[in-house]
């Protein structure tokens, strides 16, 4: 099999599970750190001609991260494209199994996938009185936050942090800063991707709220990072 991945988390999943299958990946595919494949552009602007030139047996993509016109162009060129949809943790595990099988990773289930399921299953239920409400910005200028039906929101809910905007009509709404500040949150969760929030860039916008800086890979990626994400997020949001 010759596989091209347009999704960083799926790139890591395939590379760790079956080294050698990947022949191409996006510029944003940073894990594993030693991944040596042809880079074919970004998730939103892949070089379709470069992907086709790699003669892949399969391109793996995601309905949220990749653009439908690019995927349609790949299919028109005769390339098989597998598109994942991930909105919650259980769906992530199902889709990962589907991707690994389609990519030709063999019949043996990778150990990291078992470890990830075990880690999240081992979480103790959070007492209702201990649950907290958070706003979760993913961008600034303009401010955008997690809305309804998001994978990251599902992970946070599982560790006792409820997204204030989980019932919003949009999945990633733009919300004015003044409204965010008065939304009734107990804390603000600031990941380092897609916008790279840092201790000096983000918390100062919410002077009345405690800020938790979290690794975006633990919050938004579905792949080997899930094995450590439950522990890491719980520690960061303690």
Report pLDDT digits (tens) over 133-143: 999 999 999 99
Any domain includes 96: yes
- In the chain, the number of structural domains is 2
Domain of residue 81 covers 3-109
Q: What is the pLDDT of residues 61-84, one digit of tens each?
A: 999 999 999 999 999 999 999 999
| Residues 103 and 138 occupy one common structural domain | no
| Residues 93 and 177 occupy one common structural domain | no
Any domain includes 120: no
Grade residue 105 by pLDDT with cuts at 50, 70 and 90. confident
CATH code of the domain covering residue 159: 3.40.50.1980
Cα(197)–Cα(191) distance, integer angstroms: 6
pTM value > 0.85: yes
| Residues 145 and 230 occupy one common structural domain | yes
């Amino acid at each position: 099999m010759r596989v091209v991945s347009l999704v960083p988390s799926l790139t890591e999943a395939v590379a760790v599970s079956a080294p050698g299958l990947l022949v191409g990946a996006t510029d944003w595919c940073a894990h594993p750190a030693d991944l040596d494949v042809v880079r074919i552009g970004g998730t939103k602007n892949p070089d379709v001609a470069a992907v086709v030139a790699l003669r892949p047996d399969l391109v793996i993509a995601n309905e949220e991260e990749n653009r439908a016109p690019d995927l349609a162009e790949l299919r028109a060129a005769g390339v098989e494209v597998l598109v994942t949809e991930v909105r919650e943790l259980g769906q992530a595990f199902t889709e990962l199994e589907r991707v690994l099988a389609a990519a030709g990773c063999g019949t043996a289930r990778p150990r990291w996938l078992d470890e990830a399921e075990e880690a999240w299953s081992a979480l103790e239920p959070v007492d209702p009185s201990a649950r907290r409400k958070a706003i979760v910005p993913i961008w600034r200028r303009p401010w955008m936050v997690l809305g309804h039906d998001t994978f990251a929101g599902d992970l946070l809910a599982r560790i006792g942090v409820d997204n204030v905007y989980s019932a919003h009509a949009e999945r990633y709404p733009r919300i004015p800063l003044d409204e965010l500040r008065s939304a009734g949150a107990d804390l603000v969760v600031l990941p380092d991707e897609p916008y790279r929030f840092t201790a000096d860039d983000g918390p100062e916008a919410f002077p009345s709220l405690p800020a938790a800086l979290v690794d975006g890979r633990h919050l938004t990626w579905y792949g080997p990072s899930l094995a450590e994400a439950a522990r890491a997020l719980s520690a960061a949001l303690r």
